[in-house]
Chains A and B, each alone.
Chain A
Amino acid sequence: MSGIMVLAEHRHGDLRDVSHEVLSAARNLAEKTGEQVEAVLLGQGCDEMAQRLAAQAHRVIHAEHPAFRDFNYETWQQALVRLVKGREPSIVMIPHTAFGTDLGPSLAVELGVGIVSDAIGFEPGPDGLKVTRGVYGGKLNAERFISTTPALVMVRQSHFKPDQPGLEGEVVNWDPGDVGSGLRTRFISLEEVPSTGIDITKADVVVGIGRGVKEEKNIGPIREFAEHIGAVLAGSRPVIDAGWLEKERQVGSSGKTVKPRVYIALGISGAFQHVAGMTGSDTIIAVNKDPHAPIFAVAHYGIVDDLHKVVPALREKLA
């Protein structure tokens, strides 16, 4: 019973970045445990992807099947239960994404194993795997211990650096057997969120607002400030959910990724889902009332204060 198994995620005929990130995390852990890394690729017409995964894994288990044409947790689960029981890895890693979290918990139930979500660190021990993950919006970390073999972990995206090729793993074609029958859910299509013509990704300067704006009526002065400095207004999830800004102005893993010259984060605590979408900005300025807000970890300049006081004062200085 050994080996770290990594499930690759792909969409639109291409591997998603998170697949390389999770493989990289698995490689680091495998160096500590002396195990091998096995990538698992389920799909249709994925030969080229299998070759690319082989540069990051000791082995690629590649299954081609018409049932894998579009993602459905039920078909993936049917195959993975069989594969995990057959190969007996010590750890199974899957991406903590809309793909992975739709699959991981029910897979854990079916396999009778423990699962930890949103993993950002791993420490192997004699009795099992210790996993670090964020809780309370990233304000605290939790260490959780998984006592089962295999241990199932869903790994945070945009956290581990993907650049770790250098292997020439063998690609093993695997017949998944009977998959895709008895399904109660059915994939219909992928849709792009309709565009209204706003494109925050092209902006040179972005003013991002978060939960700290408190009320919709408070956005007015911030909007005026943004316009004055030639910035585009964007927001984190709570602001978009509340309907205060258009969906296309959402910065983060489920919205847009921006890399402006200057990003000004106002009242944004800095949950990783948001940070994933703006950490590539040249200069990040953060204003937040909470001195422990995770946003300050990625900021270049920080102000601990009430944004509703800072913005008018700043507007005056820039008049």
Chain B
Amino acid sequence: MKIAVCLRRVPDTAEADVKVDGTGKGIVEDRLAFTINEADNYALEEALLLKEQRDAEVSLVSVGPKEADEVLRMGLAKGAAGAVRIDDKELQGSDGLALAEVLAAYFRKNPVDLVFTGCIAQDVEDSQVGPALAQLLGWPHTSYVVKLDCGDERMTVRRELEGGFLEVKDIARPAVVSIQTGGNTPRYASILGIKRARTKPLEALEPGAIDLDTSKAGEAGSRTRLERLYVPEVVSAAEMIEGDVSEKAGRLADILKEKGVS
């Protein structure tokens, strides 16, 4: 079985101050660390677990700049056999569906049995690429998957719904499965794995090399367009407690005591 995992390089903004750049459509990247998209890391783990259970080969695909090679190298170090990066210089402004078109073009040329994606990208937060990719390929999909049991022809998955419920369903292959975070424990790359990854194939492709219909990608090929990014006005009624740590803690202790908490 051939398994592919789609990986996205994203800025780690969880605890960072995110600023809009001069174009109004991007963010200031200078002081941000970049990493593998969190849900994609879980998707990669799911693929590697499957490889260990069955006779399967795992490959990686990313649409991104040269720097995305770091993310792919890490995936190779964890156990994937090869990686491809589709350069996104000519694909700027692609929305979720356009990105799915790029990946669909690649998989039409390089068929696999199963594609894993993360269920959400932590930067754009669209949750679109997996299901859209499946539809473009004429395959079924399933999303928010936290558990996957793989049979010879079909798979049983558990999807996470809101409010503490799981939906159990089965799905035929080939398919695209979007993985939710928390269902497995992503491994770390071993020293040996990192060494081995240096000699594994990591290929960079231009969009032309995958027979992409460029009228369907980039900003011109997208049916939605980013107008602007901005910092939302925080309408906060919060009383901000100032002072040094001891003063802040003192004031907070008083508030808690007032509320009968101590």
Q: Which residues of A contact B (CB under 8 A)?
A: 11, 71-74, 96-99, 101-106, 108-110, 113-118, 130, 133-148, 157, 184-193, 205, 211-212, 229-231, 237-238, 240-241, 243, 247-248, 253-256, 261-262, 269, 283, 285-286, 289-292, 294, 296-297, 299-305, 309-310, 313-314, 316-318
Contacts and interface: CB of A to CB of B under 8 A. Distances in A.
B15 interface: yes
Interface stretch (B1-9, B58-66, B74-82, B126-134): B126-134
Contacts of A253: 162-163
Interface string B219-237: 0001111111111101111
A185 B140 contact: yes
Contacts of A192: 164-166
B185 A115 contact: no
A229 B261 contact: yes
Given A105-B128, A105-B135, A143-B228, A137 B14 contact: yes
Contact of A310 (B175, B224, B227, B249): B249
Interface string B46-64: 0000000000000000000
B102 to A, nearest CB: 14
Closest CB pairs A-B (n = 9): A114-B223, A313-B249, A241-B182, A317-B253, A106-B135, A184-B140, A109-B135, A105-B132, A105-B128
Contacts of A113: 223
A300 B241 CA distance: 10
Interface of B: 11, 13-18, 20, 27, 95-97, 100, 122-132, 134-136, 139-144, 156, 158-172, 175, 181-182, 185, 222-232, 234-241, 245-246, 248-250, 252-253, 255-257, 259, 261-262
Contacts of A300: 237-239
Contacts of A130: 227
B27 A140 contact: yes
Contacts of B161: 11, 97-99, 190, 254
Contacts of A141: 229-232
Given A146-B224, A191-B168, A313-B249, A301 B232 contact: no
Contact of B238 (A188, A190, A292, A302): A302
A313 B248 contact: yes
B255 A301 contact: yes
B206 to A, nearest CB: 24
A262 B95 CA distance: 41
* Majority SS at the chain B contact face: mixed
Contact of B97 (A109, A137, A248, A316): A109
11 contacts: A102-B144, A103-B131, A113-B223, A136-B122, A137-B122, A140-B231, A142-B124, A143-B229, A147-B224, A296-B236, A317-B249
A115 B249 contact: no
Nearest to A228: B262
Contacts of B164: 192-193, 248, 254-256
Nearest to A205: B261
Given A71-B167, A184-B171, A301 B227 contact: no
Contact of A237 (B182, B232, B262): B182
A115 B132 CA distance: 11
Q: Which of A142, A238, A248 has the most CB of B within 10 A?
A: A142
A260 to B, nearest CB: 10
Contacts of B97: 105, 108-109, 114-115
Nearest to B123: A136
